[in-house]
Structure 1
Amino acid sequence: MQSFPGFLNLQDRAVLVVGGGENAARKIRLLARAGARVQVVAADLNAELSLAVAEGRIAHRADTFSPALLDGMRLVIAATGEATDEIVAAAAQARGLLVNVVDRADLSDFTVPAIIERGDITIGISSNGTAPLLLGRIRAQIEALLPARLGDLAALAGEFRGTVARVIRDAAVRKRFWERVFDGAVAAKIHAGDRSGARSALMAELNAVQDTVSGHVQLVGAGPGDPDLLTIAAQRALMDADIVLYDALVAPEILDRVRRDAERILVGKRKGRHSVGQDEINAQLAAHAALGKRVVRLKAGDPFIFGRGGEEMDYLQARGIAVSVIPGITAALGCAATAGIPLTHRDLSHGLSLVSGQLKDGEDSLAWADRAAAGETVVVYMGLSQATAIRDRLLGAGVAPTLPVALIENGTRRDQQVSAGQLYGLPALAAQHGNGAVLLVIGNVAAYAQATATQQRRSA
């Protein structure tokens, strides 16, 4: 994030606009809607601004710019398109005033975003001045998603906000109340144009409010790393959560999707760096749910594929705590796809085994060697440190030393690295990895990763 987003209160504040053409007019339209007292400095005004002056909506000074005109101003817009803009920017910044120079991000303290309005709901979208046309496309997409009467719903909520706070003292219960308002019958009536019915429904909801609130745990799959691979259900859970307990393998870009005021707790477990034991994680999940919180247990990949989701579900259900599961794209599927590897192929592999290189209490994680020998694809999670043992067991099971293998590190992410080769060279390939999560793909289909690996090495 290169700039800090925020909304300025310009109600009855003085703003100076230097310039009298279309660029100035566009900014003045927005400033007028925000309630600013606009003074324009320009020798000539276009027809729109001339009318605004005649009607007393803005003030005009037919003069050239001088720094003295900045006295008493809260904000400055330079829109001449000429060298004057640089003079205005320097003078404003010398006085500690925020200035925007139209189409000159390099001279500006702030940029004016693409704006979407629904009553009191205002959404601003910025590209830091790099792609204004793209902003228009994004704005159109968001406009299509937002109900036309969303502002009416916000206005109704604002009207009742103080009353709700007095009636419902408990913050968690109050949060649930507003969620029912925004997701239920009240919102439906607003969007249907029935404001009177919406008001009645809100009052009925308030009269029927319960003083207790039940906690709930959601075991959520974060997918292999790319935030675009999150499911819609997972994104909704992250936005609704009161508290998120997340793994170390969860990408920072995915954590950015968590509601900003939600509490976040790292309970990551990485080989050799177990920061929080599973028993403690279980206890934390139960304790937070017992306090009535909406708890998300955020796991890389899928909660039920080497994620101990089953253990956590058993623990919570045994204590009467509501728990649900939101599946995610497991690493084998996501990483193989981005590396160009079809895990099954009617000419090469009719089966797929997902195995862990690190099992509980020293269990043998290599009993699947016969599956690879039979021509199936084997994907090994958490097996990087076992690369030599995996090779030796497979060779001992009769697997050809030339069987294709591939290693995918940080799969689906921007820093994904893929290396490919043959089984006999697996330890040497493994030595090239280790800075991130690594997945091993063993089988004839791994040969599809050769082109990907070559291309990445050439671009490195």
Structure 2
Amino acid sequence: MDYLPLFFDLKAKPCLIVGGGTIATRKARLLHKAGAKLHVVAPKVSEELEKLVAASNGKVFKQEYDKTFLNDVILVISATDIDSVNSVVAADCHAIKLPVNVVDSPALCSVIMPAIIDRSPLIIGVTSGGEAPVLARRVRSMLESSIPAAYGQLAQLASKFRQRAKDVFENGDLRRRFWENILNGPIAEKVLGGNLAAAEQLIEAQLDSASVEKTGEVYLVGAGPGDPDLLTFKALRLMQQAEVVLYDRLVSEPILEMTRRDAERIYVGKKRAEHAVPQQKINQMLLELAQQGKRVLRLKGGDPFIFGRGGEEIDLLAEHKIPFQVVPGITAASGCASYSGIPLTHRDYSQSVRFITGHLQEGKENFRWSEFVDKQQTLVFYMGLAGLETICSKLIEYGKSPSTPAALIERGTLPEQRVHVSDLAGLAAKIEGLEVHAPTLLIIGDVVRCHEKLNWYK
């Protein structure tokens, strides 16, 4: 994070703008909207800017800048088109540790001005740190179109009842649950529909009854193969609701950061021959946390129902009648294949696909290998790195051609993705000596021939 986003309370506080042209006027509009007392220094000052200064009870100084103008102000914006003046203003402010923004010169700034979405009292700031202002404005436009104007009224309503809710629900968890029900339910819909009076009556009724639903629930959510953009909308919504998060090692850090910031995080990751928490213990934790009335997120890499043991985890919940939801994720086979330009099925090469666990039970080859040799079938082995040599040799032993194309995909869908392509006879030797890191996915079949031509993720 290059900058820490903060919000200034500028009401009736003196701020200095150096410059009197179009850009200075634009910045003045924002400061005036925030209630600042504007002072402007510039040889020439636009008519609109003079009116803004007068309306804020500030002063206009039609002269050159000098550092005496920094006395008694709390924020400075330098908006001239003269680089030497902007540099002097910045240096003077830095010398006395006064916050300064120099328009279009991020290197001179100690604070930056974001693109703003105003739903007062709800304010959203978007910035690229001055590196890509057009992109920041684009993001602002996207947010503007997706956040209803009435969210400001919803925020005002929440503010009106905030203290009373705090008095009624002294327990922080209950109070948070109360507000989540308000902001995600029919009361919010009343506000967005313009019926504020009805919304207030409904809140009054809930506060009078001093009741809030405190039912535990478990969200079994597939986080996909790693790229955060592959999450579903439903996954994101539930990730923001959960109070406790149980996550495994295949959940990437950017995805984990999308969970609620104040949620408790519990790592229950597993890797070959090393389980941080045994599976039965995970199942029991989900049950006990839900029985305590908590909203629990079980966040799993890929899809929870494809080699994710998700069925085992919700079986105990169902037995104890604990409410749960299952959100599918893009499984590694689909995600890694797509990001490698390898279609799992193709009219010219393969009419079926088979998903197989690459974990060989206690080192034993416990598969029906003879079922895997059909040339028109794509084989996908999950977690097959440790058993790669055995998998390839066994397939050849049971009749699959040694020249069958094969690809080992390392850290698929992530920026660090690497695709190692060879054939059954040579793949193990090709990666020997290389630092190949899990998670990996092994794809075997003629569809791998498409990799060179269709690979778009480079």
Give the aligned partner of residue 13 of structure 1.
13
Once residues 314 and 429 of structure 1 are traced to their aligned partners in structure 2, the CA distance between those partners, rounded to angstroms, is 42
> What's the offset of the Cα at 1:10?
1.8
Give the residue type in structure 1 aligned to 2:420.
Answer: S
- Tell me the distance in 1 between the aligned counterparts of 2:364 and 2:215: 39
Which residue is equivalent to 1:436? 438
C-alpha displacement at 1:56, in angstroms?
Answer: 5.3
2:389 alignment partner AA: T
Q: Which runs of 5+ in 2 are unaligned?
A: none
The one-letter code sitting in structure 2 at the alignment partner of 1:74 is I
Rounded Cα–Cα distance in structure 2 between residues aligned with 1:98 and 1:416 = 42
Q: How many equivalent pairs are there?
A: 456
Would the aligned equivalents of 2:122 and 2:152 in 1 still touch at CA under 8 Å? yes
Q: Give the C-alpha shift of residue 54 in structure 1.
A: 4.4
Does residue 42 (structure 1) correspond to residue 42 (structure 2)? The answer is yes
Q: 1:97 matched to which residue of 2? A: 98
Q: C-alpha distance in 1, partners of 2:31/2:326?
A: 47
The answer to whether the Cα contact below 8 Å between 2:408 and 2:419 also exists between their aligned partners in 1 is yes
2:68 is matched by which residue type in structure 1?
A
Amino acid at match of 1:197: A
Specify whether residues 56 and 391 from structure 1 end up closer, same or farther in structure 2 by C-alpha distance, changes over 3 A only: closer
User: Following the alignment from structure 1 to structure 2, what is the Cα–Cα distance between the partners of residues 180 and 230?
Assistant: 24
| Per-residue CA distance 1:181-224 (angstroms, 9 max, x = gap) | 11222111111111111111222233345356111111100001
Shift of 1:365: 4.8
Q: Does 1:287 align with 2:293?
A: no
Comparing 148-157 and 48-57, the one that deviates more: 48-57
Unaligned runs of 5+ in 1: none
Name whichever of 104-113 and 329-338 sits farther off: 104-113
Q: Which moved more, 1:81-90 or 1:44-53?
A: 44-53
Other-structure match for 1:299: 300
After superposition, where does 1:121-136 map in structure 2 within 5 Å? 121-136=122-137
Cα distance in 2 between the residues matched to 1:25 and 1:122: 21
Aligned equivalent of 2:52: 52
- Residues 93 and 99 of structure 2 are in contact (CA less than 8 Å); yes or no, is this contact kept in structure 1? yes
Render the CA deviation track for 1:424-449: whole Å, top value 9, x for unaligned. 01212343352231100011111212
- Preserved CA contact (<8 Å) 1:41 1:62: yes
Map 1:109-124 → 2, pairs under 5 A: 109-124=110-125
Q: Distance in 2 between matches of 1:147 and 1:104?
A: 33
Equivalent residue of 1:40, what SS?
A: strand
Q: Where do residues 317-336 of structure 1 align in structure 2 (5 Å cutoff)?
A: 317-336=318-337
**Superposition CA RMSD, Å:** 1.9
Query: What is the CA deviation profile of residues 68-127 of structure 1, one whole-angstrom value per residue up to 9, with x for unaligned ones?
Result: 221222111111121111000001001011111001011111210110111201111101
1:306 is displaced (CA, Å) by: 0.8
Q: Secondary structure at the match of 1:385?
A: coil
Give the drift of 1:53: 3.8
Aligned partner letter, 1:351: S
Alpha-carbon distance, 1:451 to partner: 4.6
Q: Give the partner amino acid of 1:402.
A: S
Q: Is the 8 A contact 1:217 1:323 kept in 2?
A: yes
Partner of 1:139, secondary structure, is helix
Separation in 1 of the partners of 2:244 and 2:364? 34
Task: Report % sequence identity.
Answer: 43
Distance 1:4 1:222 in 2: 28
Task: Please list the CA deviations of residues 16-46 of structure 1 after superposition, one character each: whole Å capped at 9, or x if unmatched.
Answer: 1111111111111111111222211112101
Q: Hey, what does 2:62 align to over in structure 1?
A: 62
